[in-house]
Amino acid sequence: MVLYGTLVNGLGILVGTVFGLFFTKVPERYKETIMSGIGLTVVIIGIMMGSSSDRIVVILLSLLTGAIIGEAIKLEDRLNALGQWIENKFQGSSQSQSTIAQGFVTASLIFVIGAMAVIGSLDSGLRGDHEVLVTKAVIDGFVAMVLTTTLGIGVVFSVIPVLLYQGSIAMFATQIERLLPGDYLQLFIEDMTSTGGLLILAIGLNLLNVTHIRVANLLPSLITVGFILLAYNWFSGWF
């Protein structure tokens, strides 16, 4: 089943969120320290992923073009608006003053951007191997649990973009070998991993309140990296 790994990943987030709801009474100082620990870990993961490729020009141009597209379509504003719409559905309940929108956007970015989401989905589609996504499900479950204790029920709605994003990649991957040469596919995974790593790094810095980078507006770079890599390889053939 092509979507098995993706479904397990979504289930992991759901379970983690449910457990997190039982720990919402944890003292604030514990939550702050835990979030700092998550932020530091995310920073380290981002640094490790960011060094996956040595084609710095491709990564830079991908981020630049992605930023232009993201700002032009106001992607982060649209994500926040979606989160606010979800939050409005809870008006009048005990969660009406919660950070549902923040939980949705933050969790979605953390769960969707990572290299494991891309590589795991490709493995599911190309080889029917779901090990990477099952491993990601365990990691995401623990992250969802901790995020829920701080950001609330909004974390659970991140399951939707995770299922759509990873499911789409897995389904597309069943046809990708007929569209892309094997060598290019490997380079593409490396460059996307590196680009995604920098976005993960930005998320970590935001979680630590070091920066306020509009990470969502950089998401198109995960798509433009493929086109930039094609152009890079084409021009390289002339030199």
Instruction: Please say whether the beta carbons of 210 and 60 come within 8 A.
Output: no
pTM, to two decimals: 0.74
Lowest mean pLDDT segment, chosen from 37-51, 54-68, 82-96, 162-176:
82-96
Spatial separation of the C-alpha atoms in residues 230 and 212, rounded to whole Å: 32
Give the tens place of pLDDT for each residue, 139-186: 899 889 888 887 888 889 999 999 999 999 999 888 876 777 777 888
Task: Provide the residue type at 7 as one letter.
Answer: L
pLDDT reading at 96 higher than 80: no
Residue 87 — pLDDT band, cuts 50, 70, 90? low
Mean pLDDT of 204-220: 88
pLDDT reading at 48 higher than 70: yes
The candidate with the shortest Cα–Cα distance to 214, out of 67, 110, 100, is 67
Backbone phi, then psi, for 23, in 5-degree steps?
A: -115, 25
The candidate with the shortest Cα–Cα distance to 193, out of 62, 74, 41, 37, is 62
The candidate with the shortest Cα–Cα distance to 9, out of 123, 120, 83, 126, is 120
Token pair belonging to 40:
């530091």
Exposure string (b/e) for 82-93, b if CB count within 10 Å is 16 or more?
bbeebbeebeee
Instruction: Please say whether the beta carbons of 147 and 42 come within 8 A.
Output: no
Phi-psi region of 214 (alpha: psi -120 to 50; beta: other; left: phi over 0): beta
pLDDT reading at 106 higher than 90: no
| Of 12 and 237, more confident | 12
Q: What is the mean pLDDT of the chain?
A: 84
Spatial separation of the C-alpha atoms in residues 135 and 121, rounded to whole Å: 12
Spatial separation of the C-alpha atoms in residues 108 and 12, rounded to whole Å: 14
The candidate with the shortest Cα–Cα distance to 8, out of 148, 117, 119, 151, is 117
